[in-house]
Amino acid sequence: MAKNLLIVESPAKAKTIEGYLGKDFLVKSSYGHIRDLVKTDDAIDVNNNFNQKYEVPADKKSLVSELKKLAKEAETVWLASDEDREGEAISWHLFETLGLKEDKTKRIVFHEITKPAILKAIENPRQINYNLVNAQQARRVLDRLVGFELSPVLWRKVKPSLSAGRVQSVAVRLIVEREREINKFKATAAYKVTAIFSTGKQKELFRAELPERFEEEAAATKFLEDCKKAVYQIASLETRPTKRSPAPPFTTSTLQQEASRKLGYSVSRTMSIAQKLYEHGHITYMRTDSVNLSDTALNAASAEINSAYGSKYHQLRKFKTKAAGAQEAHEAIRPTYFEQHTIEGDASEKRLYDLIWKRAIASQMSEAQFEKTTAKITITGRTENFVANGEVMKFDGFLKVYMESTDEETEASVDEDNANAILPPLAQGQTLTAQEIKATERFSRPPARYTEASLVKKLEELGIGRPSTYAPTISTVQNRGYVVKEEREGKQRQFNQLTLVSGELKKEVKTETTGAEKGKLFPTDIGAVVNDFLVQYFKGIVDYHFTASVEKQFDEIAHGLKEWTEMLKSFYSPFHQEVETTIQTAEKARGERDLGVDPESGKRVSVRIGRFGPFVQIGDTPENEGEEKPRFASLRSGQMIETISLEEALELFKLPKKVGSYEDKDMTVAIGRFGPYIRHNSAFYSLPKGLDPHDVTEEQAIEIIEDKRKKDSEKLIKVFEENPEVKILNGRWGPYIEFGKQNVKIPKGKEPKDLTFEEVKALAEAAEKEPKKGGKKFAAKKK
């Protein structure tokens, strides 16, 4: 039996530490918090110093009794949860729940999982810091009070099952307000002038740009006209050295951002891949807000850089965390072994590891050095100058391994920006020939919609949420239906382009797509209505600085400068009063908006939120029996109550429409919540993109139906004579059995074609008997 029981939060960490400590230590994990407030409304007694009722959740019961037993047998229990507010509370909960004795318990902390760090921690034990525990209690209680008092207000005043909270409600607010900024935005156009110059020598072409833009077409035309007879000369040539430094190693939020930009992973995907890398011992802990590297790591990185690239590529760097409210209980995310350039694993694990390795290594490498050349080119007859920029890399430094990307990168590349190309040898006073000069109409861009990752970045900047909650928060706001992550089609827009080639001026009207989005976060109507409600009645809670201001007070509690129940009292009494007042005075919020009158029928048209989502109503609700009933239509994906126009709303009533018949059955075209479709003999056929549902002809409809049937038959592997309802189909993830309404996966090793009806029936029955436990839980959570 071990003399010492040491408890950490994570099982992977426990395994590593056990290896460092030897036989006298048994290292176990608490798997995070071991108890939480009871789920009911009586968890906090607000009239009795915010006294809390805690319980060990069902799935932690056996773990807790195991730890209790081991603790009893041990001479000393070492509480080694993380050194932050939550970690301190975990230690305290362990102390209370396991029934530990003060003289047999020691609290230790370390920021890095290295042998010396842990041995040093063991030599310097302390007691539980109750100020820190109180700060955590204040945080926990405040969040519960806010969440469990605000949500019921929404149930009464907006819709059942909705939720509100200190973190999620601000996330929704950011998205709603950004959408409104975009809707409000008016693009302005201006002509941007670029030129391609030649030195006269073959292949020596380079680009230059006019820093000024012309707002009017006439001014741009005049400029190009003047260029026809102009002489171009290099007036000045300036070369200066520039340098670029590497970014710090990853934190949770920067990893999520970079994996989203470079690998296209959602934040939750990134986290689950990182979790695997961590469990396999490839990387350090992935939920961290620190950019700090341990001395061990700094030495290992240095050794690796020196041996792989040479000492001139190495530069020791220590980064400082900038994020508000960072608690820095862990190191930055880095490879455990820098000498491992690649790892075993699936493709996604390899790619994420590669990113983490490069970023961490690059952070310890020297600056990249450039020589930047700027040439100013005069135009006779004009006061403006063309400017050409060139950049030559003199030393690659950290760029040898890693280049950070930016959010604007994809946008800018559309703009065919002159990305600091290399200039040919130039001399001051040299004259140039203009091969081509172009004035292109460019539009100003509205603020960018949030992606999952850029939302995390914004939340982190505001100090809202923690590394462990960024991904869940993004799921919550989507699961509640406040936000959707979508792809939306853009609109076509025309722009002018004036081109001067060989002394000839030519005007073209071109088209471009604007506003097309992929994987961006859009607010829903319910998200907007809930947000407006909260902003109106609970301005303080959804204020962008609310978290920062309570965090400041939690810090004071943690430093023993403030009493935690006093802090909660001064927060709770005005807050609770607001809740009471709102319940009594606020109207039910339905987001209703009047669109005016239908010019054809003279009936009123309005939009609002109904049981099945937003819809348009034409005609008033009748007051007496026998009066004409109003008609209804659902809004389409992408349409919102606050932006839909009267014309768009009326358009929704032109469908469903008969387009002809096929096999003696009518074909109707209509628009559902998920886009236009054809209905035929109780089956649905989606319309291909780009086909206007109003113009579908009988022939097109038949073609769509036949095409879908053909595709379905290609998926078919086998039908059973015994029961034609039972089929084997080729699905997205391989063959599966369609057994009535049930779909059953075919076990590995079976050839789908050879399955008999009996075998298939047995598989389906077995699958039905065995309910998918985790699946149901997950589905329930989603709802």
Residue 449 makes contact with DNA by CB under 7 A: no
Q: Which of residues 654-673 bind DNA (CB under 7 A)?
A: 656, 670, 672-673
| Pattern 272-291, DNA, x by CB under 7 A | x--x--xx-----x-x----
Would strands 205-214 and 36-37 be described as parallel, antiparallel, or unpaired? unpaired
Residue 565 makes contact with DNA by CB under 7 A: no
Residue 610 makes contact with DNA by CB under 7 A: yes
Least distance in angstroms from the C-beta of 338 to DNA: 22
* Residues 271, 272, 275, 279, Cα dihedral to 10°: -170
Least distance in angstroms from the C-beta of 9 to DNA: 5
| Pattern 134-153, DNA, x by CB under 7 A | -----xx--xx-xxx--xx-
Residue 546 makes contact with DNA by CB under 7 A: no
Residue 466 makes contact with DNA by CB under 7 A: yes
DSSP string computed for 354-408: HHHHHHHHHTTBPPEEEEEEEEEEEETT-S-EEEEEEEEEEE-GGGGT-----TT
Residues contacting residue 295 through CB under 8 Å, at least 6 positions apart: none
Q: Which stretch binds DNA (CB under 7 A): 186-194, 341-349, 462-470, 575-583?
A: 462-470
Q: Which of residues 150-169 bind DNA (CB under 7 A)?
A: 151-152, 155, 160-169
Residues contacting residue 92 through CB under 8 Å, at least 6 positions apart: 128, 130, 133
Query: What is the rounded CA–CA span in Å between residue 192 and residue 87?
Result: 56
Of 405 and 661, nearer to DNA (C-beta) is 661
Ranges assigned E (strand) in 470-592:
483-488, 491-501, 504-514, 517-523
Residue 322 makes contact with DNA by CB under 7 A: no
Least distance in angstroms from the C-beta of 272 to DNA: 7
- Candidate residues 37, 117, 448, 719; the one interacting with DNA per rule CB under 7 A: 37
Residue 747 makes contact with DNA by CB under 7 A: no
Place of tokens 């041995």: 119
Q: Which of residues 377-406 bind DNA (CB under 7 A)?
A: none
Of 29 and 524, nearer to DNA (C-beta) is 29
Place of tokens 């026809």: 228
Q: Around Cβ 689, how many Cβ atoms within 10 Å?
A: 8
- Candidate residues 23, 101, 611, 748; the one interacting with DNA per rule CB under 7 A: 611
| Pattern 44-83, DNA, x by CB under 7 A | --------------------------------------x-
Terminal-to-terminal C-alpha distance of the chain: 47
Q: Which stretch binds DNA (CB under 7 A): 46-54, 122-130, 218-226, 726-734?
A: 726-734
C-alpha distance from residue 262 to each of 265, 346, 398, 724, 761 (Å): 8, 18, 18, 48, 46
Of 453 and 464, nearer to DNA (C-beta) is 464
Residue 748 makes contact with DNA by CB under 7 A: no
Query: What is the rounded CA–CA span in Å between residue 664 and residue 702?
Result: 12
| Pattern 94-133, DNA, x by CB under 7 A | ----------------------------------------
Q: Which of residues 222-281 bind DNA (CB under 7 A)?
A: 272, 275, 278-279
Residues in the chain: 783
Contact 558, 517 (CB under 8 A): no
Q: Which stretch binds DNA (CB under 7 A): 339-347, 592-600, 626-634, 698-706?
A: 626-634
Q: How many residues bind DNA (CB under 7 A)?
A: 88
What is the residue type of 83?
E
Least distance in angstroms from the C-beta of 574 to DNA: 19
- Candidate residues 4, 18, 20, 36; the one interacting with DNA per rule CB under 7 A: 36
- Candidate residues 545, 604, 679, 718; the one interacting with DNA per rule CB under 7 A: 679
Q: Which stretch binds DNA (CB under 7 A): 193-201, 417-425, 630-638, 749-757?
A: 630-638
Structure tokens at 86: 């939550």
Q: Which stretch binds DNA (CB under 7 A): 117-125, 407-415, 758-766, 770-778?
A: 770-778
Least distance in angstroms from the C-beta of 313 to DNA: 34
Query: What is the rounded CA–CA span in Å between residue 529 and residue 717?
Result: 48
Structure tokens at 248: 């710090």
Of the candidates 373, 365, 334, the residue with the CA atom closest to the CA atom of residue 239? 373
Residue 769 makes contact with DNA by CB under 7 A: no
Query: What is the rounded CA–CA span in Å between residue 21 and residue 223?
Result: 77
Residue 525 makes contact with DNA by CB under 7 A: no
Least distance in angstroms from the C-beta of 221 to DNA: 50
Least distance in angstroms from the C-beta of 555 to DNA: 14
Least distance in angstroms from the C-beta of 700 to DNA: 17
Long-range contacts of 587-595 (CB under 8 A, 24+ apart): 587/157, 588/157, 588/158, 589/157, 589/158, 589/529, 589/530, 589/532, 589/533, 590/529, 591/525, 591/526, 591/528, 591/529, 591/532, 591/641, 591/642, 592/641, 593/641, 593/642, 595/644, 595/645, 595/646, 595/649
Query: What is the rounded CA–CA span in Å between residue 277 and residue 271?
Result: 10
Q: Where are the alpha helices (DSSP H) in 158-249?
A: 168-184, 217-228
Q: Which stretch binds DNA (CB under 7 A): 101-109, 331-339, 516-524, 612-620?
A: 612-620
Residue 293 makes contact with DNA by CB under 7 A: no
Residue 349 makes contact with DNA by CB under 7 A: no
Q: Which of residues 428-447 bind DNA (CB under 7 A)?
A: none
Residue 680 makes contact with DNA by CB under 7 A: no
Contact 386, 377 (CB under 8 A): yes
CB-facing half-sphere around the CA of 99: CA atoms within 13 A: 8
Of 362 and 526, nearer to DNA (C-beta) is 526
Q: Which stretch binds DNA (CB under 7 A): 396-404, 502-510, 631-639, 757-765?
A: 631-639
Contact 373, 392 (CB under 8 A): yes
Residues β-bridged to residue 678: 669, 685
Q: Which of residues 193-212 bind DNA (CB under 7 A)?
A: none
Least distance in angstroms from the C-beta of 373 to DNA: 48
- Helix, strand, coil share of the chain (percent; to 5): 40, 25, 35
- Candidate residues 41, 215, 411, 417; the one interacting with DNA per rule CB under 7 A: 41
Residues contacting residue 181 through CB under 8 Å, at least 6 positions apart: 446, 447
Least distance in angstroms from the C-beta of 539 to DNA: 17
- At residue 626, φ and ψ (nearest 5 deg) are 90, -15
Of 85 and 400, nearer to DNA (C-beta) is 85
Of 28 and 144, nearer to DNA (C-beta) is 144
- Candidate residues 249, 467, 527, 591; the one interacting with DNA per rule CB under 7 A: 467
Query: What is the rounded CA–CA span in Å between residue 4 and residue 104?
Result: 10
Of 332 and 432, nearer to DNA (C-beta) is 332
State the angle between helix axes of 564-585 and 130-157 in degrees (0 to 180), rounded to the nearest 10.
Answer: 0
Residue 468 makes contact with DNA by CB under 7 A: yes
Of 287 and 727, nearer to DNA (C-beta) is 287
Q: Which of residues 80-99 bind DNA (CB under 7 A)?
A: 82, 84-87
Least distance in angstroms from the C-beta of 568 to DNA: 14
Would strands 76-79 and 105-107 be described as parallel, antiparallel, or unpaired? parallel
Residue 346 makes contact with DNA by CB under 7 A: no
Of 125 and 481, nearer to DNA (C-beta) is 481
Q: Which residues are catalytic?
A: 285
Least distance in angstroms from the C-beta of 544 to DNA: 14
